[in-house]
């Protein structure tokens, strides 16, 4: 299925395709499908070096993540936090702000939700508990982004360094909170109190898929629409494209910077809350899924487009779930998914660059 467009792109580069529709097909094949195939081949070379048949591995991952009911439900459930992280990143990156503090914000959100939900569930109705926990998670993460935001907005301090620092700090703070303040006294495992399964985000009817994925989908579509269809989104894109021009057209850049940071971090914190309220029910000490760095390439692969991000997140969730299962069955550690994503990112960036040069060459 994937080979055909790749072949036609080969024909196109030889100048055999001349019609407009043909050229469009060639371009899609060249910029979207060929890199995926190339990245799979490159990563497959790593697999065969390790003594694993790449085709068997890929076949197993696809079979496990898409064809089995439990695997597919796990894939869709995993999408929830990744979609929210993607939404937060698109918001910040489109506004030209490098929010690289995702892991800290994610863990603070998760910890806030895990601290609040179990005790509240004793006294409040469950929907209210879930909503309050999510709001608390968003507030905690947004608060954590305030210092980098203010430093960037009013002192011009590079946000890459400050968000990274705050991320390490956030990880430590949330760990310390889990171990000191919110420890569950009834168990010897260092973890927070556990939210009963019945009290968690309800699964979609007839499945084990947490309804968190709906929150994720709504968030990323909303961010996409805001960025592409509203004047607010346009303002943010102007700030991102040229902050100096943005000041000249009268935009309040410092205020927008702080707002974008808060909103971006709130979405990341919500991702943490959804993962806790929907899947785990508690936060174990030293738990950190480190989704942050992995989502950044996905968002760039999707060229900061929210709808395309959904596709890449589905791909990556399936890869993660399949790889985790393959680790047990085929003995290949799930870290392989990192290699594949890195390959894909680099190949795609290269192909895009080459296709741009190629287009310039054919025009001139």
Partner 1 sequence: MDMILSQSFLTSLVVGLVMAGVPLLLAGLGEQISEKAGVLNIGIEGMMLIGAYAGFLGAWQTGSLWVGFLYGIGGGMAVALLMAVLCVRIGLSQIVIGIGLTLGAEGLTALLHHVQFSRSYPRLPGVETWAVPGLSALPVVGPGLFDRHPMVYLAIALAVILSMLYRKTHLGLTLQAAGDKPAALDGAGVDVLRTRFAAVLCTGALAGLGGAFMSEVGAGLFIPFMTNGAGFIGIVLAMLARGRPLWVLAGAALFGACLSMTTALQVAGINIPTDVIQMLPFAAVMAVLVIFGRRASLPAALGLPYVRGAR
Query: Structure tokens of 160?
Result: 């890459």
Q: How far apart are CB 217 and partner 1 at their closest, in Å? A: 25
Residue numbers of the site for partner 1 (CB under 8 A)? 46, 50-51, 98, 147, 151, 155-158, 160-162, 164-166, 168-169, 172-173, 175-176, 179-180, 293-294, 296-297, 300, 332-333, 335-343, 345-346, 349-350, 353
Residue number with CB closer to partner 1 (179 or 235): 179
The owner of tokens 């459930």 is: 77
Q: How far apart are CB 345 and partner 1 at their closest, in Å? A: 4
Residue number with CB closer to partner 1 (308 or 346): 346
Q: How far apart are CB 148 and partner 1 at their closest, in Å? A: 9
Q: How far apart are CB 169 and partner 1 at their closest, in Å? A: 5
Of the candidates 321, 294, 298, the one whose C-alpha atom is nearest the C-alpha of residue 309 is: 298
Exposure of 155 by Cβ count < 10 A (0-12 exposed, 13-18 middle, 19+ buried)?
Answer: exposed
Q: How far apart are CB 91 and partner 1 at their closest, in Å? A: 17
Query: Structure tokens of 179?
Result: 């171990």
What's the first-to-final CA gap in the chain, in angstroms? 34
Q: How far apart are CB 333 and partner 1 at their closest, in Å? A: 5
Q: How far apart are CB 341 and partner 1 at their closest, in Å? A: 6
Q: How far apart are CB 121 and partner 1 at their closest, in Å? A: 27
Of the candidates 75, 319, 324, 112, the one whose C-alpha atom is nearest the C-alpha of residue 216 is: 75
List beta partners, residue 129.
Answer: none
Q: 3-class DSSP state for residue 98?
A: coil
What string of DSSP letters covers 147-200? HHHHIIIII---HHHHHHHHHHHHHHHHHHHHHHTSB-TT-SS-BBPPPPGGGS
Query: Structure tokens of 362?
Result: 């054919």
Residue number with CB closer to partner 1 (109 or 212): 109
* Distance of alpha carbon 267 from alpha carbon 282, whole angstroms: 20
* Distance of alpha carbon 145 from alpha carbon 262, whole angstroms: 6
Residue number with CB closer to partner 1 (64 or 152): 152
Residue number with CB closer to partner 1 (106 or 130): 106
Q: Distances in Å between the alpha carbon of 236 and those of 24, 94, 186, 261?
A: 31, 7, 48, 12
* Distance of alpha carbon 28 from alpha carbon 15, whole angstroms: 16
Q: Is 228:217 a contact under the CB 8 Å cutoff?
A: no
Residue number with CB closer to partner 1 (222 or 333): 333
Residue number with CB closer to partner 1 (209 or 340): 340
CB atoms within 10 A of CB 318: 23
Residue number with CB closer to partner 1 (187 or 356): 356
Q: How far apart are CB 195 and partner 1 at their closest, in Å? A: 23
Residue number with CB closer to partner 1 (98 or 312): 98
């Amino acid at each position: 299925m994937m080979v055909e467009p790749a072949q036609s792109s080969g024909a196109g580069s030889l100048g055999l395709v001349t019609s407009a529709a043909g050229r469009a097909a060639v371009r899609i094949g060249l910029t979207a499908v060929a890199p995926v195939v190339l990245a799979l081949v490159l990563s497959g070379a790593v697999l065969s070096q390790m003594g694993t048949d790449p085709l068997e591995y890929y076949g197993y991952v696809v079979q496990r993540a898409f064809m089995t009911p439990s695997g597919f439900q796990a894939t869709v459930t995993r999408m929830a936090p990744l979609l929210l992280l993607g939404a937060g990143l698109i918001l910040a990156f489109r506004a030209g702000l490098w929010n690289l503090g995702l892991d800290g914000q994610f863990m603070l959100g998760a910890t806030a939700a895990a601290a609040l939900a179990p005790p509240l569930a004793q006294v409040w109705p469950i929907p209210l508990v879930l909503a309050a926990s999510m709001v608390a998670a968003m507030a905690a993460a947004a608060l954590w982004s305030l210092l980098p935001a203010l430093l960037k907005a009013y002192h011009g301090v590079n946000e890459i360094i400050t968000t990274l620092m705050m991320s390490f700090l956030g990880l430590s703070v949330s760990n310390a909170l889990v171990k000191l303040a919110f420890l569950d006294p009834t168990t010897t495992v260092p973890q927070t109190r556990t939210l009963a399964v019945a009290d968690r985000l309800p699964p979609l009817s007839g499945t084990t898929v947490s309804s968190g994925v709906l929150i994720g989908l709504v968030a990323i579509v909303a961010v996409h629409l805001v960025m592409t269809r509203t004047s607010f989104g346009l303002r943010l894109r102007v700030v991102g494209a040229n902050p100096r021009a943005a000041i000249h057209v009268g935009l309040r850049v410092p205020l927008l910077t702080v707002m974008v940071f808060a909103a971006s971090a709130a979405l990341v914190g919500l991702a943490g809350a959804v993962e806790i309220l929907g899947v785990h029910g508690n936060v174990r000490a030293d738990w950190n899924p480190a989704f942050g760095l992995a989502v950044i390439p996905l968002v760039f692969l999707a060229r900061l487009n929210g709808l395309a991000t959904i596709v890449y997140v589905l791909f990556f969730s399936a890869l993660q779930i399949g790889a985790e299962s393959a680790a047990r069955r085929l003995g290949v550690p799930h870290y392989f998914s990192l290699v594949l994503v890195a390959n894909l990112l680099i190949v795609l960036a290269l192909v895009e660059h080459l296709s741009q040069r190629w287009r310039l060459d054919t025009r001139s």
